[in-house]
Amino acid sequence: MGDGIEMYYRQEVRCRRTVEEQRLIDALHAKDWLPSRGQVLLVSIRGSSPLGTNSFDDRAGTVYRDHQGELHVKLYDATNDPGDYWLNNPPKPEGTAVPCAGYYTGAMVLGNHKGKPGLLNRGLTPVTFNRYLSDGNGGWKVNKENVSKYVGLNIHRAGTASTQVDRWSAGCTVFARSADMDEVLKTCKKGLDFCDGGTLYFSYAILEDIEVHGTYGYVS
């Protein structure tokens, strides 16, 4: 493409993105976290609601850069936070794990979570997390901070179309609809196909809501 045609094409693609998608790209660009050609970045945006809503009020999905260098964003309803069951019944005495915002290089690999296809934190980097316990006043407090080790903070599905988190998450990133998880896996396999199966690991970026919706202006 000539420079003028290419610029027009990029502007046209940018106009087709939602505000949320463009702001996510802006935030990733500002942090130098955008994927290279042929790479799939797994992403999650933690919503502004407090811990303990027991709802799928976060967003998660993929940012994929194709072989032409264009970015493609897909986001779905999800949760980064444990459901009420696990918050009230911590799997460890120290509390229930909640992943920390950050960039986790090559953290995820394709695999099965409880018999269903998903993404497992068995890659190059463990997901850092805090452990939360009840504060005795109907809320939650950090009991253990910035723990970096492999404890199974995976990415997987809930039910066909779940409306409450309940037992679906004890700290994992979980998609409300199983079909959305299937779309994420399909995008990951595009990255594998582009590299002839050579890409075994997928990086994972977790951002806070304010980091995404307070960033503007980048044209990819």
Sorted by where each begins, the domain ranges of the chain are: 3-213
Structure tokens that stand for 72 in this block: 């493609």
DSSP run (H or E) holding 157: strand 155-157
DSSP run (H or E) holding 73: strand 71-79
Residue 56's φ and ψ, nearest 5 degrees, are: -85, 70
Q: Which has the closest alpha carbon to 104: 6, 207, 192?
A: 207
Cβ atoms 105, 128 nearer than 8 A: no
* pLDDT of 67: 83
* pLDDT of 206: 98
In whole angstroms, give the CA distance from residue 130 to residue 95.
9
Q: Which has the closest alpha carbon to 47: 209, 217, 211, 178?
A: 209
* pLDDT of 3: 53
Q: What is the pLDDT along the chain (220 residues), one digit of tens a residue?
A: 445 434 433 554 555 799 999 999 999 999 999 999 889 999 999 999 999 999 999 999 999 998 889 999 999 999 999 999 999 999 999 999 999 999 999 999 999 999 999 999 999 999 999 999 999 998 999 999 999 999 999 999 999 999 999 999 999 999 999 999 999 999 998 876 655 555 579 999 999 999 999 755 444 4
Say what the pTM is: 0.89
User: How many CA atoms lie within 13 Å of 202's alpha carbon, on the beta-carbon side?
Assistant: 30
In whole angstroms, give the CA distance from residue 127 to residue 122.
10
* pLDDT of 194: 54
* pLDDT of 219: 44
* pLDDT of 105: 95
DSSP run (H or E) holding 78: strand 71-79
The one-letter amino acid at 102 = G
